[in-house]
Amino acid sequence: MSVRKSERLLNLLIMLLVQRHFVPKERIRSILYPGSSSEAFEKMFERDKDELRSLGVPIEVGSMDTYFDDEPGYRIRPDEFALPDIDLTPDEASVVGLATRVWQHAKLADATTEAVRKLRALGAPVDVTALDIVEPRLSAEEPSFDAFWEATAERTPVVFGYRRPGQDEVTTRHLQPWGVTRYSGRWYVVGLDTDRGEERVFRLSRVEGEARPDGPAGSYDVPAGTDVSAVARRLAPAPVVQRAVLLVRRGAGHQLRRGAAGVETDVVGPDDHTTWDRVVLERDTLGLADEVLGHGADVCVEEPLELRAQVVERLRAGLDRASTAGGVA
């Protein structure tokens, strides 16, 4: 996806999310599509709305005037975009997946800040508290994440090297990517494997080298009704359930608590600044270290020892880097 298009989609998402009322189409055009003709604006706007909706963003259409319905407006209600306190449906999971990719991924974090700044500079009233609906806890460190995410949005086929588990040989794969999703602590790309003519799921951490375009943008369509998260759950290896015990500061770690198998309140914690709870998880612990580290001093690992050691090692590595940087300065 081009930088211009990526920024435009992100600006549209934020503009409709952070404003309290329906935004008229002409205002959207003047701020996000300046200089475009009426025909060009209609085409780009419809395409951008379709792309966001395909990723699960609930764009609502409503009347700007109580008595007249001749001018439609658009918005994204934060309460519909937010993570509910229930098990996620596929649609809700895709909304959360998009939000975490937008706010978590390092490359797009700066773009989010820049989008809000531009909207304010152009006179658009914004409510930035709407951006707090998803806690930023997921990471996307795989080098191929950008290429697959952009190819998905642009509908561009890709070619890449892939190493299957337990094999040394790297094979060349050709894919029409339908979406990128996180499942059981891992990032996967889902799409049509054109070599085999079947839907496939590929784990991004096993991609070798660079994922490159393998055809023109817009050269394929995602099958109607495709649920990328459901495909990943169906085709990806089943997670290995393990038991993890965490000490979580009272009032923190809401995402961890939401999936807990049990919570013991008012236990002895690492410090006495606040009260602590013992949270027991029964899940695949892959990726859990990232979540724990994302909560900073509010979460401490009791078990398993392997997870605790992994968190401690990464914290020490971070301190070492900070110390080295300080010494150089």
Range of the domain at 276: 242-328
Boundary residue ending a domain (235, 250, 280): 235
Write down the pLDDT at residue 145: 85
CB atoms within 10 A of CB 281: 20
From residue 37, alpha-carbon distances to 26, 34, 44 in Å are 12, 9, 10
What mean pLDDT do residues 112-121 have?
A: 56
Looking at the domain assignment, is residue 83 inside a domain? yes
Let me know whether 123 and 175 are in one domain.
no
Boundary residue ending a domain (235, 250, 275): 235
Looking at the domain assignment, is residue 140 inside a domain? no
CB atoms within 10 A of CB 185: 16
Record the tokens describing residue 324, joined without a space.
């080295």
Taking the C-alpha atoms of residue 97 and residue 182, their distance in angstroms, rounded to an integer, is 7
State the Cα torsion 237-227-155-43 to the nearest 10°.
-160
Let me know whether 123 and 204 are in one domain.
no
**Who has greater pLDDT, 21 or 23?**
23
Q: Please list, in sequence order, all residues whose beta carbon lies within 8 angstroms of the beta carbon of residue 192, skipping any fewer than 6 positions away.
A: 175, 176, 178, 198, 199, 200, 220
**Who has greater pLDDT, 37 or 11?**
37
Q: 3-state DSSP call for residue 247?
A: strand
The reply to whether omega before 270 is within 30° of 0 (cis) is: no
Let me know whether 196 and 79 are in one domain.
no
Taking the C-alpha atoms of residue 133 and residue 85, their distance in angstroms, rounded to an integer, is 12
What mean pLDDT do residues 8-24 have?
A: 80
Let me know whether 229 and 114 are in one domain.
no
Taking the C-alpha atoms of residue 21 and residue 24, their distance in angstroms, rounded to an integer, is 9
Let me know whether 170 and 221 are in one domain.
yes
**Who has greater pLDDT, 319 or 310?**
310
Question: Would the pLDDT of 161 be above 60?
Answer: yes
From residue 131, alpha-carbon distances to 27, 72, 78, 82, 128 in Å are 21, 24, 8, 10, 5
pLDDT in tens, 227-274: 888 888 888 877 777 899 999 999 888 878 887 899 999 999 999 889
Write down the pLDDT at residue 317: 80
Q: For the domain that residue 220 is a member of, what is the CATH number?
A: 2.30.30
What mean pLDDT do residues 275-302 have?
A: 86
Record the tokens describing residue 223, joined without a space.
């099958």
Pairing relationship of beta strands 170-183 and 186-193 according to DSSP bridges: antiparallel
Q: State what percent of residues in the chain have pLDDT above 70.
A: 71
Let me know whether 230 and 296 are in one domain.
no
Looking at the domain assignment, is residue 318 inside a domain? yes
Q: What contacts 24+ positions apart, CB below 8 Å, involve 214-218?
A: 214/156, 214/157, 214/158, 214/159, 214/174, 215/156, 215/157, 216/156, 217/154, 217/155, 217/156, 218/154, 218/155, 218/156
Looking at the domain assignment, is residue 262 inside a domain? yes
Looking at the domain assignment, is residue 139 inside a domain? no
- What are φ and ψ of residue 205, in 5° steps? -70, -10
Q: Sorting pLDDT into bands at 50, 70 and 90, what band is 159?
A: very high
Domain total in the chain: 3
Let me know whether 43 and 154 are in one domain.
no
Let me know whether 117 and 164 are in one domain.
no
Burial of 284 (0-12, 13-18, 19+ CB in 10 A): middle
Let me know whether 105 and 162 are in one domain.
no
Taking the C-alpha atoms of residue 75 and residue 60, their distance in angstroms, rounded to an integer, is 5
Looking at the domain assignment, is residue 324 inside a domain? yes
Record the tokens describing residue 139, joined without a space.
């990471």
Record the tokens describing residue 26, joined without a space.
């002409």
| 282-283-289 Cα angle (round to 5) | 110
Contact 75/83 with Cβ under 8 angstroms?
no
Let me know whether 155 and 78 are in one domain.
no
Looking at the domain assignment, is residue 138 inside a domain? no
Contact 277/265 with Cβ under 8 angstroms?
yes
Let me know whether 100 and 158 are in one domain.
no
Average pLDDT, the chain: 78
Let me know whether 32 and 107 are in one domain.
yes
Boundary residue ending a domain (203, 235, 267): 235
